[in-house]
Amino acid sequence: MSNIIEIKQLHKSFVSEKGEVEALRDVSLEIAKNDIYGIIGLSGAGKSTLVRCMNLLERPTSGEVIVNGRSLTELNDRELRKERRKIGMIVQHFNLLMQRNVVDNVAFPLEIAGKKKKEARKKALEYLEAVGLSDKANAYPSQLSGGQKQRVAIARVLASKPEILLCDEATSALDPQTTKSILTLLKQINEKYGITIVVITHEMSVIQEICSHVAVLEHGVLVESGSTEEIFRSPKTAEARKLVFSGSEHIYEMTSGRIVRISFNGTNAYEPTLGNIILETKTPVNILYANTKTATGNAEGQMFIGLPTDEAKAEKIIGYFKEKGLNPEEVSADAFAAGNIDDN
C-alpha cells in the first residue's frame, strides 16, 4: 500500500515570552493511502501542531511534508492552495456559519469553487444524506445538537471531495454515545469514499475504535508508532503505557513480590487462562490490574499478575503463559509500584 503522507525529520519551534519553544522535534512518520491513522498524546504533546503542519497551516521550522508525492514545503502559494483543496479538516468547535442554514453551510465551499447556487445546494443535499442529516437541511446551527453540528461540518468537508481528512480532537466536545456515532460515521466515510483519515486525540478509546495505526507523541517527540493492536497489546515505552493503562493509578500500592504482565489478543482473550492455571497448580494468583477492550474489531487486553512466592510454581505459571502465547513479561515490583511499568 502506497503512502499518501510522509513526514520527514519535522521540527517546529515557536518564540514565546519565555523564549523559544520546541513544539515538534525530529518527527518522522508515514501514513498509507486509505488508512485511518491515529496520533495520540496528552495535552501539550504537539498533536495539533503536527496535524496543522500536514497541510502547512503551520509551516515547519525544518523538515519535509510530502503529500501525494509532492513536497508541500517546496510549493509556492498558488501550488500550495491547490494541494490544500485535497486536504479537508474538521475540528472540535465545528466552525459553522450561524447565519446560514445547514444546506447552505454545506454548499458554501462549492459556491467558493465556482458552482452555481442551485447546483451547489443539490450536491450539498447528497452529502447531508451521506451523514444522516437530510431532514435538517433547512435548520440553522443554533437548532442542532453538538453531534449534528459535527455531521454538518463533515458533510461540508466531503463536498470538497478531499483525499485526506484531518480530524483535530473532533469528538472532544461530544458525549460518549455521540462520539461513538461520529467515529462510526468516519469509518463509513473511509470505506465509502476511500478517504485517508488522520485522527488527533488524547483518548485511547478513540484510537481503539477506528484507527488501524497509531503514533504516540510526548513533548513534541514521536516516542512510538505501529499498528493499534501492537501498541495496545505490548506498548514499549513509558509514554505509550501511560495511555494504554490510564485509570490504573490506584492499584500500584497493592504490589509485592514477582509481577508478570500478560497480553491477550483476539485468539486467546476469551479462554479461561487464569482458571486453568489455578486448577493445574492449585495456587491462587493475585490480579493486580486487568483491562480488556476492543481494538479495531478485535478483543485485546493486558493483565498484571502477582506470582506466588514458591519459585517452582511461579516458573510453572510463566511457562504456561508462554505456551498459551500470552507473552509473559516480568516487571519490577518497585517500578510497578512507582507507576513506571516500562522499567523491567
80-118: b or e for each residue (b if 16 or more CB lie within 10 Å)?
beebbeebbbbbbebebeeeebbbbbbbbbbbeeebeee
User: Residue 146: in which H helix or E strand, if any?
Assistant: helix 146-158
pTM attached to this predicted model: 0.75
Give the CA distances from residue 79 to residues 71, 73, 228, 342, in Å, rounded to whole numbers and listed in that order. Answer: 11, 11, 35, 46
Cell numbers that stand for 8 in this block: 520527514
Predicted confidence pLDDT, tens digits, the chain (344 residues): 689 999 999 999 988 787 888 999 999 999 999 999 999 998 889 999 999 999 999 999 999 999 999 999 899 999 999 999 899 999 888 889 999 999 999 999 899 888 898 999 999 999 999 999 999 999 999 999 999 999 999 999 999 899 999 999 988 888 889 999 999 999 999 999 999 999 999 888 899 889 999 999 999 999 999 999 888 877 888 888 778 766 544 444 444 568 888 877 655 555 677 777 777 777 777 777 776 665 555 656 778 888 887 888 888 888 888 887 888 888 776 555 545 554 33
DSSP letter string, 6-65? EEEEEEEEEEETTEEEEEEEEEEEEEETT-EEEEE--TTSSHHHHHHHHTTSS--SEEEE
Give the CA distances from residue 123 to residues 103, 155, 158, in Å, rounded to whole numbers and listed in that order. Answer: 9, 10, 10
**Residue 336 amino acid letter:** F
Delineate the domains of the chain, giving CATH numbers in brackets.
3-234 (3.40.50.300), 245-337 (3.30.70.260)
Q: Is 7 exposed, middle or buried (0-12, 13-18, 19+ CB in 10 A)?
A: buried
